[in-house]
Chain A
C-alpha cells in the first residue's frame, strides 16, 4: 500500500500531536493538517489537575512542545475551529468556521467531554476539569478555606480533591463507591487511599451518588445527594466521567458506540482512523473492544495509527498504563485491575506506604499496582503482557 498524499488529524491534543510526530519519524513527507477545537497549541492534560491547578506551574509549562519543535513537524495547525461533520466516503471534514478539509487519510482524535449535572451551566461556581481554561478558572475560584465539593470518586475526582485540599480548601469528596477508586483498585489499595485522604483533611462522603445541584441567586450553594442530604459548597467540581466527542460524526456512517468503533488496527473505515480517548478498538490479545482514557494510550495508539496509515498493518495490543499523584502517593498501574482480583503484596509494605501489588484473576496476572514504587512496578509489566484475560477496564 502506498502512503496517502495527505493526512488530516482532527484533534490537537496528545494523540493528535503524537500522530504527526510518528508520521514524520517514520519518514512521511506528505502534507499534514491538524485541526483543533481549542485555541491553544497542543498541551498536556495530566498536569491540569496537579501542577497547574496547584499553581506550581504557569499554564504555559503544560505545553507539550516548544514552538521550534512544533514548526519542525512541517504541519499546518488550524486551531480554535471544531469539526462539525465528516463525510466518511469522501474523507472530508466540515468545521464550525465553514472550512471543508479533505485528505486521503483522516485521524479522529477528538477526545472526551466531561459529563455534567443538570443545570450546572447556569450556576456560577460549578466547574469541570478537562481543558487548560477549565483548570485556570477553577484555580481562580478557590480560596484557602473555600468549601469545595468534588463530585466523582474516580481518578480525576480523587486527584482534584487531593490538590485542592493541599491548597487549603475544605474539600468534601462525594461519590457512590465505598472508597476512592474502589472499583479499580479493590479494597486494599482503595482503603489506603481513603485513609490518606482522611488524614490530609478531605471529608469523604462516599457510598451515595450526587443527584443534583442546589443554587442560590445564580451561584452554587450545595450538592444534593441521593440519600436526601445536601452538602453545602462555595465551589463544586463535577468530575464523574466523560463521554467521547463523537456527536460531530452523526450521519457520517461511522459506527459510534461509546467511542469510534475501530478494527484491531484502529481503522474506523477505509482511510479513517481513531486514536486516544475517543477510540474504541478491537484489542486482539483481550479479544474485546476496548477504550482507554489515559495519557499513555493517547500517544501509543497514535504511533500505531501512524504506522497503519503508512501500511504497516499491525494490530494495536498495548498493556494499559496510568498513574495518579495524590498528596504524597505516586500510584502507577500497569494492566487492567479488577476490584475482585486476588491481590498480593510482592514488594515493600502498605504500612510503609511503599509497595507493589499483583492483581490476579484465576491465577493469571492481570495487573500490577505500584504505590511510591514506580520502577519496581514497571519491572513486572512484562509478566502481564501475555495474559489474555479481560477484566474491569472501560470496554
Chain B
C-alpha cells in the first residue's frame, strides 16, 4: 500500500514537464499573418476610424463643422426617406440572395452529379464567367437585353402573348437580374464544395432503406449541404448590400440603395451623412454575418 501511495505521489508531481516549443517555430504563424494584418489596418481599420469620426461631425449650410454630435444619426434613423433607402437596400439584397440560391443550388447539384470531367470543367468556367466580365460592360449588356425593344421583351410579346413590353430594366427587376447573374458563382461554389465532401455511400444507404430520389435528397443530401448554402447566401447578401455600379446603371435612378446614397452625400460634400450611411451598411453586414454564423452552427452536425 505504501508503495502504491508513493507511486501515485510521484505521478502527480509530473516529473517530466512538456518542453516549450522553440520561439522561432512559435513565431511562424504570426509572421504569416503580418501582411494581412498590415493591409487590414491600413485599408480597413484606419478608414473606419476616420468614418466614425466624421459621422459625429455635423454639416450645416454646406459647411462641415468639426464638433461632437449624434444629429446626423438621429436624422438618419427618424427620417422616413432614409428608412425607405435602408429597406430598399435590404430588399434588393434579399431578393438577389433568394434568386441566386434558387438558381445556384440546382446548378451546384448538376455540377456535382455530372460524370464527365470535361463537361464539369466547362460548366465551372461558364458559371464563373460573370466575374470575368467588367461590371460596366455586363450592366450595359443587360440594359440592351432587357430593354423594351430587347430580345427578352420580343420573346415575351411574340411568343408569350404580352400586349405591352414588360419593364425589366431601370427598376429593381433589372438590378436583381444583373446582381443574381454576377453573384451566382459565389453561391454555387460553396454549395458545390460541401457536396463534393459528402460521403456517396450515404445516398446509397438512404436508397437501400427504401427512400426514393426525392426523399434521399430532402432528408440526407440537402441537410448536409445546408452549411454551404448558408455560406453562399451570406456572401451573396453582403456583396449585394454593397453593390454600387449595378444599381446605379440598371436602376435608372429608381433604385436608391445605401451605397448610392453614400455616393450622393459625398458629391454634396456632406461627409457626416455619407459616414452615417456607411456605418449603417457596416452594421447591416455585421448583423448578416452574426445571424448566418448562428444558423451555420445550428445547421452543422
- Binding partners A and B: no
Interface residues, chain A, with chain B CB atoms under 8 Å away: none
Interface residues, chain B, with chain A CB atoms under 8 Å away: none
